[in-house]
Amino acid sequence: MAGHSKWANIQHRKGAQDKKRAKLFSKLGREITVAAKLGGGDPDMNPRLRLAIATARGQSMPKDGIERAIQKGVGGGEGENYDEIRYEGYGPGGVAIIVEALTDNKNRTASEVRSLFSKNGGNLGETGSVGFMFDRVGEVVYPAAKAEADKMFEAALEAGASDVESDEEFHTITCEADEFAAVQKALEETFGEGDRGGLVWRPNVEAQVNEDQASSILKLIDALEDCDDVQTVTSNFDVSDEVMEKLMAAG
């Protein structure tokens, strides 16, 4: 699934270079708050919170912001109640897109997401309309400099992972969703915390698109990611390395 690995790496670079820090921290904080509310404020006893904190630290979120988000979750904070919602739809070129959101107003978020699809050459579908094109898996990402590819591969398989993809920038380790916590813990004992990790949607069917279609897809994804309530956006599109590098340089 080279296309998935390539897109995952692009997402990672985009996150590291994101200049909209306030919006990014707000989304990270929302996930921390929800995790703390659902599973308690102790990250050692709450895998989702532990992951949310690690992700926030990886994006340089200030420590006091992380602590406030935890307290809001365990203490009730200002009383916000967030619902987790998944939207599914099609983008330019017929590619499949899954959008995950945390919202305190379902009607508002649904309207915004539907509008963004429509304005950017896509259309929002029913729940389940594209979900079958993806598998829910656990994923842990380390920088390539952390270890040689062979060493990472051996350690990951020993930890229970099902696949490892390595390139010049990252090692991407994949495992079954219900094995994620155990695999992540085993890898951390050997290599320390990864750059990022969590449960992700991994395409099992990829849609080949041309440069113009890819450009339109990226615009739709950027618009969706700019929505305050949207946490993640995943697509199954694939283009050549040459086209993707050209698009990223232009964007």
Instruction: Give the strands of the sheet with 196-203, arranged side by side.
Output: 163-166, 170-176, 134-143, 196-203
User: Average pLDDT for residues 245-251, to the nearest whole number?
Assistant: 72
pLDDT at position 58: 74
How far is Cα 147 from Cα 173, in angstroms, rounded to an integer?
Answer: 13
**What domains can be seen in the chain, in order of their start residue?**
2-75 (1.10.10.200)
Q: Tokens standing for 71? A: 């307290």
Which residues have C-beta within 8 Å of that of residue 113, sequence separation ≥ 6? 87, 99, 101, 124, 224, 227, 230
Share of the chain above pLDDT 70, in %: 89
53 by Cβ neighbours in 10 Å (0-12 / 13-18 / 19+) ranks as buried
User: Average pLDDT for residues 37-55, to the nearest whole number?
Assistant: 89
User: What DSSP assignment string belongs to 151-204?
Assistant: HHHHHHHHHT-SEEEE-SSEEEEEEEGGGHHHHHHHHHHHH-S-SEEEEEEEES
Q: Tokens standing for 122? A: 């896509």
Residues β-bridged to residue 96: 90
User: Average pLDDT for residues 225-243, to the nearest whole number?
Assistant: 89
180 by Cβ neighbours in 10 Å (0-12 / 13-18 / 19+) ranks as buried
pLDDT at position 4: 45
Range with lowest mean pLDDT among 59-73, 161-175, 191-205: 191-205
How far is Cα 43 from Cα 75, in angstroms, rounded to an integer?
Answer: 15
pTM reported for the whole predicted model: 0.83
User: Average pLDDT for residues 170-184, to the nearest whole number?
Assistant: 91
